[in-house]
Copies of this chain bind each other. A is one copy, B any other.
Amino acid sequence: MASPLTRNAIEEAYSRIFKLIHRTPVLTSTSIDGIIGSGKQLFFKCENFQKTGSFKSRGALNAILKAKEHGEVKGVITQSSGNHGQALAWAANKIGVPCIVVVPINAPIPKVEAIAAYGAQIERCEATMTARLETCERIANETGYLSIDPHNDYDVMEGQGTIAKEFLEQVPDLDALFIAVGGGGMIGGISKYISEVNPKIKVFCVEPEGKEIQKSFEAGKRLWESGALLNTIADGVRVLRVGDKCFPVLQECCQKRVFSVNDEEISKAMFITMQRLKVVIEPSAAVCLAAVLKYRDELKEFQKIGIVLCGGNVDLNKMPF
């Protein structure tokens, strides 16, 4: 079956959501460019300024609005202790649809409070991915609510792809884009859009060490068996496995060279971003600068590099640096 994820679908998603989301600015820093050297220019798309503090609002909003176009939506449900939970709660609230978010019992209280503050109902479950998915499915069946996955969902990917549409309008002549990969929803939408609109722009996956996307690329199939979480400070991309709807898009549209970074490198890049670019980001948003810093000698052919600062939801009293 052909994937429904296309440039047209992403542009339709944009028409659907643009009035309720921020067109986030692109910032640059001569000082960070100086640290990278070799005349490279970095362009930072500030999705940390997006509604709810992360790009996730785009996909969540698109999924709900699109479902409503196809009939009544009784309510929506997801499992997430992080940005997708907040984003879905916010979007449901905006549209006037009930929302349930399943969170593990060990989820940080501020995150749960943020989700509840957007008006969502919280349901607790055991702190395993299996329990989270099962609880979500059970309640969806009981309530008839629409379950919206954080990444493994074409409507969500379409919404995230609108980042690329804006980014190309703001900086048309990028040479490469570096995107942090968790479940693969954001890079799925972005890389698909880029591949149709300007395939000269190379899209690279960046991951926390241990995820090993490149091995799956080389094997030609998803090698992850478990729904485990990586041990990384980049909590926004700690889900180990790339979704089965996302992975084929990455295979088709991304470069096969994958860049990996560790906590120390992420923490350093986070500090540089906050100190020099003057924006507050969460660790996941520092993953790509960490990769550009670490692998710059390998990136000689790319002058203009785009980075998506995916979110800014971080506890300022618990910084990793």
Contacts and interface: CB of A to CB of B under 8 A. Distances in A.
Interface string A9-34: 00000000000000001010010000
A319 B271 CA distance: 13
A103 B127 CA distance: 56
A278 B319 CA distance: 14
A2 interface: no
Contact of A274 (B27, B46, B277, B316): B316
B25 A271 contact: no
Nearest to A309: B278
A97 interface: no
Interface residues of A, number: 21
B278 A312 contact: yes
Contacts of A48: 278
Given A316-B319, A321-B316, A278 B279 contact: yes
Interface in A271-291: 271, 274-275, 277-281
A243 interface: no
Contact of A25 (B25, B53, B274, B280): B25
A193 interface: no
B278 A278 contact: no
B316 A275 contact: yes
A99 to B, nearest CB: 17
A217 interface: no
A113 to B, nearest CB: 13
A321 to B, nearest CB: 7
A43 to B, nearest CB: 13
Interface string A289-320: 00000000000000000000000100011010
6 contacts: A25-B25, A46-B278, A49-B278, A274-B280, A279-B279, A316-B321
Interface of A: 25, 27, 30, 46, 48-49, 51, 53, 271, 274-275, 277-281, 312, 316-317, 319, 321
Given A27-B49, A271-B316, 17 more contacts: A25-B25, A30-B51, A48-B278, A49-B277, A49-B278, A53-B278, A274-B280, A274-B316, A275-B280, A278-B279, A278-B280, A278-B281, A278-B312, A279-B279, A280-B280, A316-B319, A317-B321
